[in-house]
Amino acid sequence: MERAKQTSESIELGILLALAGGFMDVYSYVARGGVFANAQTGNILLVGVHLSEGDPASSLRYLLPVISFAVGIVLADLVRGRFDNLLHWRQVTVLLEALILVVVGLLPGTEDLLANCLTSFACGMQVESFRKIHGHGIATTMCIGNLRSALQSVDDYASTHRRSSLENGLLYLGVIFIFVCGAVIGNWCVSRFGLHAIIGAAALLFAAFLVMFVDREGREERADSC
In this predicted model, what pLDDT tens digit does every residue of 168-215 receive, in sequence order?
999 999 999 999 999 999 999 999 999 999 999 999 999 999 998 875
Please report the domains of the chain, with CATH numbers, ordered by start residue: 9-216 (1.20.1250)
pTM of the model: 0.87
How far out from the chain centre does Cα 216 lie?
22
144 half-sphere exposure, CB direction, 13 A CA radius = 5
Tell me: the pLDDT tens digits for 58-113?
899 999 999 999 999 999 888 876 766 667 888 889 999 999 999 999 999 999 99
Of the candidate ranges 4-13, 47-56, 178-187, 190-199, the one whose mean pLDDT is the lowest: 4-13
Burial (CB < 10 A; 0-12, 13-18, 19+), residue 198, is buried
Three-state secondary-structure class, residue 132: strand
Alpha helices in the chain (DSSP H): 11-31, 40-52, 56-79, 89-106, 112-129, 144-160, 163-193, 199-211, 216-225
Mean predicted confidence (pLDDT) in 7-30: 90
